[in-house]
Amino acid sequence: MRTHSLIQVAVLSGLLALTGCSSKVTQPEKYSGFLKDYSNLKEATSASGKPVLRWVDPSFDDSKYDSIVYNPITYYPQPKPTTQIGQDTLNGLLTYTNTKLKAAAAQRKPLVAKPGPRSLIFRGAITGVDSSKEGLQFYEVIPIAMVVAGTQAATGHRTMDTALYFEGELIDAATNKPVIKVVRKGEGKDLNNQNTPLTVDTLKQVVDDLASDAALFQVKKP
């Protein structure tokens, strides 16, 4: 009877841990301030099926624009390298993101250096590169495995989640007002533990998905 009760408690603890897993979209406490206003963002689905936060001006008509001014993506705020995420990785990730996003923008419209009356101005930022210990795995729910899991966490062997946070907007050059805003979180490859370095390859697929969705995005008319 006591064993049955322990298993019930363990299962409940495991379910609580699983429900506490990180959200698929950026939470308000992660907003960086890169965008001036986050209040009108709503959950949406990208072209590839990824969850995002997005706002589109109801009057936005893509056909009214003939070019894009691409402002290079930056880090906001500027990150400090760590033993797990080094400066070379930060530099490489930014270069790779700009290469992919600039190419995606060029697929939509010609890129120009100076805005004209029918131009869109793109500005975007990587607002976070994150690694954190995963919550309890389902197979760790039984009591003995929970003890093992606790030992792994204490000794630095628990698998680490990785994530990249992005915020961007398109601005109407004629009015200088945003017409599209996007806030997005992408999950990268897991790291074996807190001593495993994060590399560009860890988050490469996140950037690829971001670029693909930017190229394929279409405004759905009501």
> pTM of the predicted model, to two decimals?
0.81
Q: Fold for domain 24-134+158-216? A: Rossmann fold (3.40.50)
pLDDT, position 219? 84
Share of the chain above pLDDT 70, in %: 77
pLDDT of residue 22: 54
Does position 61 have pLDDT exceeding 80, yes or no?
Answer: yes
| 3-class SS letters over 85-149 | CCHHHHHHHHHHHHHHHHHHHHHHCCECCCCCCCEEEEEEEEEEEEEEECCCCHHHCCHHHHHHH
pLDDT greater than 70 at residue 150: no
Q: Would you place residue 222 in the very low, low, confident or very high pLDDT band (cuts 50, 70, 90)?
A: low
pLDDT value for 178: 98
CA angle 146, 190, 75 (to 5 degrees): 130
Q: What is the pLDDT of residue 195?
A: 86
